[in-house]
Amino acid sequence: MVAVAILAAGRGTRMKSSLPKVLHSLGGRSLVERVLQSLTSISPSRCLVIVGYQAEQVKTALSARQEARGKRQEEESNFLPAVEFVEQTEQLGTGHAIQQLLPHLEGFTGDLLVLNGDVPLLRSETLKHLLQTHQEHQNAATVLTAHLPNPQGYGRVFCDGQNIIKQIVEDRDCTDAQKQNRRINAGVYCFRWSDLAASLPLLQANNDQQEYYLTDIVDLVAPVMAVDVEDYQEILGINDREQLATASEILQRRVKSKWMAAGVTLIDPASITIDDTVQLQPDVIIEPQTHLRGNTVIQSGCRIGPGSLIENSHLGENVTALYSVITDSVVKAENSIGPYAHLRGHVEVGAGCRVGNFVELKNTKLGDKTNIAHLSYLGDATVGDRVNIGAGTITANYDGVDKHPTQIGDRTKTGANSTLVAPLTLGADVTIAAGSTVTEDVENDCLVIARARQVVKPGWRLKSPQD
Ligand code: UD1
Ligand code: CA
């Protein structure tokens, strides 16, 4: 049986942030959420998250995540147990944090996998390998290690020839000679719980920080074995913003390689960011300066960018989106979006539409083959098929207190600079004359002219004061 503990109580002083470190976001997910995600192949029987600094905030963030993912997880085979929170009210070190588990794991007989909440890039295969090695060798503890080109800041691991650990020394406690050792502690461990539980009360805080170090357990149990990670990039710990940026680069490289191998073209990949929650189909082309975020799905044949931001949106086949922002929306196949369009707040665009220059759509549904090509705002509108929304058409949907709906029937055409004062229903095959301010509902098949008639006075000239 395996239980998991995640260390997430520290403040993360080096981040210089009011947000707890483990809630900082990396590619659209918090660090601690990513750590949880790496557990999928482990199927632990329990999952304890140790919280302390701004515990409520961390708990709220993880509980919201659990609710959102709960249903999906039940359907997936990789089931994660409910997260249990353990409070560490004073942060006296990683060893002290694990001591807080003692009352919670009383009588537990299996292995405890310990993960740092600030090591977000671990692959679940790596954890599986660590656990297997631990169990095969019947170790008291097994520590994930790596050989780093620049080991600064990490605890150094000293082993004998058989990978049996003799000592782990924190960077700040190292002598100059010890600092030369590039083998570091990744902050990921597997312990035989019964041995760990017996030794935890014996930890002492005699080090530079006067903290109880979990790493000192290596002096108290045996054997403790080191297992090297294949790709050291996986174990990057996030202690400051620089490391957060490095982790983001590593993650981006992983995500982009995956999509390029799957048949997606990225033009100037360095200028593009893609969250690892995004799904792309083959023959999608992503142009420079484009950012794909959240639960976005982009189907085959789409050309996105340059300069577009797509977030939590679904784009059907063969959509182009040029210099545009699309959030929380669905755009069906064969659409042309932009340049400079903004779709937000649950927009649905039917197939074969054109949403052009400087058009903003909010909570609006367009039928198929409808055009809204220039300089318009539609909010809370439902628009039929083959409608033409003339340049500069605006829904006046907000009276200062409430938002009101606008309905526009099939094949209706609004003239340039129409103002549609909601609530308003225009039937099918209606034509609105340019410059109209429409305030009353219109039946099918009507022409509406709602503007002052033009007055022309021949032979009239403004008298200037000098005359
Ligand atoms: C730790 C390890 C170091 C290792 C590195 C890997 C110790 C003593 N050192 O150092 O050997 O190379 O991780 O990234 O363990 N935390 C608590 N309660 C506390 C203190 C910390 O929950 O009282 C949590 C933090 O929120 C963080 C994790 O433990 O998620 C690690 O703490 P941090 O202070 O970042 O340890 P490092 O100095 O990085
Ligand atoms: Ca750390």
- If you write DSSP's letter for every residue of 191-257 in order, what string do you get? EEHHHHHHHGGG----STT----GGGGGGTSS-EEEEE-SSGGGG----SHHHHHHHHHHHHHHHHH
Residue 309: what are its φ and ψ, rounded to 5°?
-125, 120
Task: Tell me what pLDDT residue 72 has.
Answer: 54
- Going by alpha carbons, the residue nearest to atom 20 of ligand 1 is 93
What is the rounded CA–CA span in Å between residue 235 and residue 143? 12
Ligand lying closest to the C-alpha of residue 174: 1
Tokens at residue 316, please? 């059907």
Query: H or E segment at 389?
Result: strand 388-389
DSSP type of residue 452: P
Q: Using the structure block, give the residue that is written with the tokens 């601690």.
A: 32
Does any ligand 1 atom lie closer than 6 A to the CB of residue 200? no
How far is it, in rounded angstroms, from Cα 294 to Cα 256? Answer: 15
How many A from CA of 122 to the centre of ligand 1?
16
Q: Is 384 in the pocket of ligand 1 (CB under 6 A)?
A: no
Question: Ligand 1, closest atom to CA 11?
Answer: 26
Q: In what order do the strands lie in the sheet with 371-374?
A: 265-266, 285-286, 303-304, 320-321, 336-337, 354-357, 371-374, 388-389, 413-414, 431-432, 447-448
Which residue's C-alpha comes closest to atom 28 of ligand 1?
A: 116
Query: Which residue is closest in CA terms to ligand 1's atom 26?
Result: 10
Say if ligand 1 is within 6 A of residue 120 CB: no
What are the Cα distances from residue 396, in Å, to 92, 192, 243, 365, 438?
Answer: 59, 67, 48, 16, 10
What is the 173 CA–ligand 2 centroid distance (Å)?
A: 15
Does any ligand 1 atom lie closer than 6 A to the CB of residue 145?
Answer: no
User: What are the backbone dihedrals phi and psi of residue 199, each rounded to the nearest 5 degrees, phi first?
Assistant: -95, -25
What amino acid occupies position 21? K
Atom of ligand 1 nearest to the CA of 237: 14
Q: Is 50 in the pocket of ligand 1 (CB under 6 A)?
A: yes
Question: Ligand 1: distance of its center to the CA of 92 in Å?
Answer: 11
Quote the CA–CA distance of 387 and 393 in Å, as a whole number: 12
| Distance from the alpha carbon of residue 7 to the mean position of ligand 2, in angstroms | 10
Is there a cis peptide before residue 103, judged by omega within 30 degrees of 0? no
Per residue of the chain (467 residues), give pLDDT as tens: 999 999 999 889 999 999 999 999 999 899 999 999 999 888 899 999 999 999 999 999 998 877 766 555 544 444 567 899 999 999 999 999 999 999 999 999 999 999 999 999 999 999 999 999 999 999 999 999 999 999 999 999 999 999 999 999 999 999 999 999 999 999 999 999 999 999 999 999 999 899 999 999 999 999 999 999 999 999 999 999 999 999 999 999 999 999 999 999 999 999 999 999 999 999 999 999 999 999 999 999 999 999 999 999 999 999 999 999 999 999 999 999 999 999 999 999 999 999 999 999 999 999 999 999 999 999 999 999 999 999 999 999 999 999 999 999 999 999 999 999 999 999 999 999 999 999 999 999 999 999 999 999 999 998 887 76
Distance from C-alpha of 411 to C-alpha of 414, rounded to nearest angstrom: 10
- Quote the pLDDT of residue 80: 67
Which pLDDT value is given to residue 466? 76
Q: Residues with Cβ < 8 Å from 13, sequence gap 6 or more?
A: none
Amino acid type, 351: A
With a 6 Å cutoff on the Cβ, whether 95 touches ligand 1 is no
Separation of alpha carbons 326 and 30, rounded Å: 23
Q: Which of 36, 94, 158 to mutate to test the pocket of ligand 1 (most atoms within 8 A of CB)?
A: 94
* Whether residue 458 has a cis bond before it, omega within 30° of 0: no
What pLDDT score was predicted for residue 69? 60
User: Which of 19-28 are b and which e, b meaning 16 or more Cβ less than 10 Å from the residue's Cβ?
Assistant: ebbbbbebbb
| Strand positions, DSSP E, 206-301 | 224-228, 265-266, 273-274, 279-280, 285-286, 291-293, 297-298
Ion ligand 2 nearby residues (CB, 5 A) = 118, 237, 239
| Residue reference for tokens 């949403």 | 355
Q: From the CA of 144, how far away is ligand 2's center (Å)?
A: 14
Residue type, 181: N
- Ligand 1 neighbourhood includes 20 CB (under 6 angstroms): no
Question: What does the pLDDT read at residue 121?
Answer: 96
Ligand nearest to the CA of 7: 1
Name the pTM for this structure: 0.88
> What is the rounded (10 degree) CA torsion for 138, 143, 144, 146?
-120
What was the pLDDT predicted at 464?
83
CA–CA separation, 436 and 234 (whole Å): 61
Give, in degrees to the nearest 5, the angle at Cα 57 between 52 and 63: 105
User: Which of 116, 121, 172 has most ligand 1 atoms within 8 Å of its beta carbon, as the pocket-test mutant?
Assistant: 116
Q: Is 342 a residue of the active site?
A: no
Find, among 33, 40, 43, the residue nearest to 3 by Cα: 43
Q: Find out whether the peptide bond into 423 is cis, omega within 30 degrees of 0.
A: yes
What ligand 1 atom has the least distance to the C-alpha of 214?
15
Residue 96: what pLDDT? 97
Chain position carrying tokens 């094949």: 411
Distance CA 364, CA 422 (A): 13
pLDDT of the residue at 11: 86
Question: In this structure, which ligand is nearest to the CA of 54?
Answer: 1
Ligand nearest to the CA of 171: 1
